[in-house]
């Protein structure tokens, strides 16, 4: 890959990698470049809000396109909940991981109070839910189980 002359260099909005000033997408991280480029890594844009400028709105960070921490946590929980649902779904641990305490307690009590007989349907439910969790895209998973708080299937 050839480097552009210094006069045509700018820095990516997301990863601060040096890129060609006319590149619509950063070749390093793949983020769409919008608006004026940051002249130097770490430098803020002139039209970007500074912390405290808009007290009713959270400050989004230095670079546009920053990911919401709740979204990142949900994506991490997706894999853990899916695997727990598949492996030990009868205990309802996957429900607790997603914050659905009532549903988790129901699954756990059905398994324990029926002396293990109820574990068979609860394990099947856990298996199905684990597969559903793992086959959803990250955006779908976040929307359904974090935003809408859908606790069964």
Tell me how many degrees the CA angle 17-19-23 measures, rounded to the nearest 5. Answer: 135
Domains contained in the chain, number: 2
Per-residue pLDDT at 36: 53
Q: Is residue 49 part of a domain?
A: no
DSSP class of 53: S
Q: Is residue 131 part of a domain?
A: yes
Same domain, 24 and 88: no
Query: What value does the mean pLDDT take over residues 116-127?
Result: 94
Range of the domain at 79: 69-147
User: What's the predicted TM-score (pTM) here?
Assistant: 0.56
| Strands (DSSP E) found in the chain | 9-11, 18-20
Report pLDDT digits (tens) over 72-94: 888 888 999 999 999 999 999 99
Same domain, 83 and 137: yes
Same domain, 89 and 127: yes
Q: Is residue 125 part of a domain?
A: yes
């Amino acid at each position: 890959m050839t480097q552009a002359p210094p006069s045509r260099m700018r820095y990516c909005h997301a990863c601060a990698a040096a890129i060609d000033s006319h590149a619509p997408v950063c070749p390093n991280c793949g983020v769409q470049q919008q608006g004026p480029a940051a002249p130097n890594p770490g430098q803020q844009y002139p039209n970007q809000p500074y912390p405290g400028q808009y007290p009713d709105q959270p400050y989004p960070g230095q670079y546009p396109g920053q990911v919401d921490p709740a979204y990142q946590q949900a994506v991490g929980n997706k894999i853990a909940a899916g695997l727990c649902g598949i492996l030990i779904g009868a205990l309802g641990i996957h429900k607790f991981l997603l914050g659905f305490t009532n549903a988790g307690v129901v699954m756990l009590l059905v398994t324990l109070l029926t002396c293990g007989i109820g574990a068979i349907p609860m394990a099947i439910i856990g298996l199905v839910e684990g597969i559903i969790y793992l086959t959803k895209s990250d955006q779908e998973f976040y929307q359904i189980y974090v935003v809408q708080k859908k606790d069964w299937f």
